[in-house]
Amino acid sequence: MAVSKSENGAFGHGSVSDQIPEAIEGLKTTAIPKVATGIPAIVHSLTYGLSEMGAVRMTRAWLAVNQKSGFDCPSCAWADPDGNRHPFEFCENGAKAMADEATTARITPEFFARYSIAELSEKSDYWLNRQGRLTCPMILQPGATHYEPISWDDAFHTIANELRQLGSPDEAVFYTSGKATNEAAFLYQLFARIYGTNNLPDCSNMCHESSGWALQQTLGVGKSTVTLSDLEHADLIFSIGQNPGTNHPRMLTSLLAAKRNGATIIDINPLPEVGLLRFKHPQEPLHLLGGGTRLSDRLLQVRINGDVALLKGIIKAVLEAEDRSLGTVLDWDFIRTYTSGFEEFLQHLRTVEWRQLEEQSGIARKQITEVGEIAAKARSTVICWAMGLTQHRNGVENIRELVNLLLLRGNIGKANSGVLCVRGHSNVQGDRTMGVWEQMDEGFLDRLGTEFKFSPPRSHGYDTVETIRAMEAGKVKAFISLGGNFLSATPDTDVVARGLSKCQLTAFISTKLNRGHLVTGESSLILPCLGRTEVDVQAKGPQFTTVEDTLGVVSSSRGVLAPVSEHIKSEVAIVAGIAQATVGGKGEINWIDFLDYDQIRDRASRVVAGFENFNDRVRVPGGFYAPVAAKERQFATTTGKANFTVNPIRPIQLAPNHYLMMTIRSHDQFNTTIYGLDDRYRGIHGGRRVIFMNRDDIAEAGLIARQLVNLTSHFQGEQRTIRDFSVIPYDIPRRCTATYYPETNPLVALGSVAETSNTPASKSIVISIEPVSAASS
């Protein structure tokens, strides 16, 4: 069914989530492989690359990606080696991301003339992405059924006219995805603030916002405190709430190096993930021929959202080891000199009973104690985590508790030790560093105002969840997106769709078509931009951009392929064009001067702390590390020290027929971009509408494998239902389930968020499951 608007702009014909077509036939299941990557990864990389790019383009891209003189991979934010790099410095998912961006398929104005918005809405997300690169700016006029071409000047002035007519700058929102480069991000936030608003939501709000708040509270900086070398030489590594084999596969190479250096690796996750079980390095021929290397030494299949209880148990075991050997386990010098809050933390831990820890974590005391004893003896420890910890109501507390564990033995500011929050999109950390945040600190705003001779707004803007609420309430009239797929990435999809439809203007700076372009304001623009793989030439010659990876390394990125069309512009050129048309003359700025990107970096070097001499430092091959004071045991917290914290266990009470669901990625996707319909590491082929369930739960519920069911979420008396999911038996704790996003994002209630960070709790969704036959009757 098409997504259509009534005259008042609201969507008719039922919910958007029911209208998104997804195949439920053709689904096949196979045995789960016993080893990750290896020859299958090479084959899939070649197959996808050749089909999308052809041999010549593929070879040029492969030889340039993640090289010091090449371009940064448009996929995940995993760090590149500081020293020498392999000629093929990428993974299978990086190969897919490159091929997806550098595809030879094109979307021309003729495509939009052929397909109406209603017809495109009947296509799947997979189909939309497969149509190729956008090649020309397009506009959907009020009341029109089709997008049509528009000149760049007219596009810029259309946006400028809408923005200038708003009653307040705060009626506009400027969203950013983590793919935007540092230069585009800095210019974008500058434009928004000169325009007069701090409404700068970004994808960080939905992923590692909980990490940022927790690390700021405990360590004084919201970033990782380790280098790649630290990880590869750590004595003990915890991998918690992450799936590196699919989400950041190059991490497996570093874990393999750590393993060869003698590391013990503890895997904590509700699902056993193949990548941490056994790994074949695809760049080592002899390794490919063998059985691979087992990475994790222990797998603790924690219940969904049982992480605080499990971490408390590990900490309790460390404290018990100290009690048995007083003065030999805890790093008392570090605790006394560099930390605050230890006594309150210790008093709380002494009151927690093992029975509660076992019950809430789902892990037996014996297993927890064994891991605690390993932690008590390890000379150095790194803890790595991702969305499995952050997207819960207590996401901030999850991160604070793992910091407690590290502080006990002084594993902050020590070689081969520290926190590693594994970021998702390739420059999501850099965007935040450059000022894309709705509540940047006063120091940044002061320097920004001084540099550009204006008074930045000081009141906090909307984050992602607040933006959705404001749109639905009619408080947002213009929505501009620098990359991303806001509709599909956010929670409560039907509410988001209603909000977008109430806007007067939506504008999307994009490389490819996605569902967000089909759920629009009264008028809408698609502004096609260059990708990372492409050469960027402006009037003053070739340009390069920069990015910041998950470990804080800031490096250059230079595309090597010809642009897909002469009619597309760089992100920087598009932002500068909109800004010039909208706020030209405000501040001491000539926006067109910024098409020499050195000018952006020069101005940013006086605004962004730690980026002095930005232009010179980023031209050094490999770039430079952004400063992280906690590495030097300098803690910019309220106490001036690293803070122990007290984090209560918050049980989720489930009714007898309810389950706890988390959303996950398949191996054939990156964020909301669907490359294919397979997830070979979980034995799923040809479909995505599945729910993974414990076999005993399936039997107890009277269900059978592959049966179609409807899923209903329950939050504070609200219910949301999505239909036609196949039941897949899987090794997952009782009463826990997993599904792919974005298909199940409609189940995530807008009000279900992490405390403090306001991150959607997409890993803690209470659901009930009903057979389709029963529901139909």
Q: Could you tell me which residue, 3 or 91, shows the higher pLDDT?
A: 91
pLDDT band at 36 (very low <50, low <70, confident <90, very high): confident
| Angle CA 526–530–534, to nearest 5 | 155
Question: pLDDT per residue over 546-562, tens digit each?
Answer: 999 999 999 999 999 99
Q: What sign for the dihedral angle of Cα 722, 726, 732, 733?
A: positive
Determine the average pLDDT of the residues in 19-45: 78
* The predicted structure's pLDDT at residue 11: 40
* The predicted structure's pLDDT at residue 291: 78
Q: Kindly report the number of other CB atoms within 10 A of residue 347's CB atom.
A: 10
Helix, strand, or coil (residue 749): coil
* The predicted structure's pLDDT at residue 286: 63
Determine the average pLDDT of the residues in 692-715: 97
Structural tokens at position 246: 């699919």
Q: How far apart are CA 497 and CA 742, in angstroms?
A: 14
Q: List CB contacts of 289: < 8 A, sequence separation 6 or more.
A: none
Q: Which domains does the chain have, with CATH numbers?
A: 36-101 (no CATH), 106-163+172-197+427-488+495-631 (3.40.50.740), 209-421 (3.40.228.10), 655-776 (2.40.40.20)
The DSSP element (H or E) to which 187 belongs, if any, is: helix 182-195
Q: How far apart are CA 465 and CA 550, in angstroms?
A: 24
Q: List CB contacts of 546: < 8 A, sequence separation 6 or more.
A: 181, 182, 183, 430, 554, 555, 556, 557, 601, 618, 623
pLDDT band at 91 (very low <50, low <70, confident <90, very high): confident
Question: pLDDT per residue over 448-475, tens digit each?
Answer: 999 999 999 999 999 999 999 999 999 9
Question: pLDDT per residue over 367-377, tens digit each?
Answer: 999 999 999 99
Nearest to 140, CA basis, from 112, 100, 166: 112
pLDDT band at 2 (very low <50, low <70, confident <90, very high): very low
Which residue's entry shows tokens 């250096």?
261
Question: pLDDT per residue over 303-319, tens digit each?
Answer: 999 999 999 999 999 99
Q: List CB contacts of 30: < 8 A, sequence separation 6 or more.
A: 680, 683, 685
Interaxial angle between packed helices 38-53 and 55-64, expressed in degrees from 0 to 180 and rounded to the nearest 10: 120
Determine the average pLDDT of the residues in 570-595: 95
pLDDT(421) > 50? yes
Question: pLDDT per residue over 125-173, tens digit each?
Answer: 999 999 999 999 999 999 999 999 999 999 999 999 999 999 999 999 9
pLDDT band at 92 (very low <50, low <70, confident <90, very high): confident
Q: Using alpha carbons only, how large is the chain's radius of gyration in Å?
A: 25
pLDDT band at 4 (very low <50, low <70, confident <90, very high): very low
pLDDT(542) > 90? yes
DSSP 8-state class, residue 145:
S
Torsion of CA 129, 133, 138, 140, to 10 degrees: 0
Ranges of beta strands (E only) in 253-351 are: 264-268, 279-280, 298-300, 339-340
pLDDT band at 249 (very low <50, low <70, confident <90, very high): confident
* The predicted structure's pLDDT at residue 559: 96
* The predicted structure's pLDDT at residue 610: 95
Q: Kindly report the number of other CB atoms within 10 A of residue 675's CB atom.
A: 21
Give the best-scoring range by mean pLDDT among 69-78, 84-93, 237-246, 733-742: 733-742
pTM of the model as a whole: 0.95
pLDDT band at 43 (very low <50, low <70, confident <90, very high): confident
pLDDT(489) > 50? yes
Q: How far apart are CA 603 and CA 186, in angstroms?
A: 10
Q: Measure Cα distances from 23 to 122, 147, 415, 686 in Å.
A: 12, 27, 50, 8
Mean pLDDT of the chain: 93
Percentage of residues in the chain with pLDDT exceeding 90? Answer: 83
Question: pLDDT per residue over 194-227, tens digit each?
Answer: 999 999 999 999 999 999 999 999 999 999 999 9
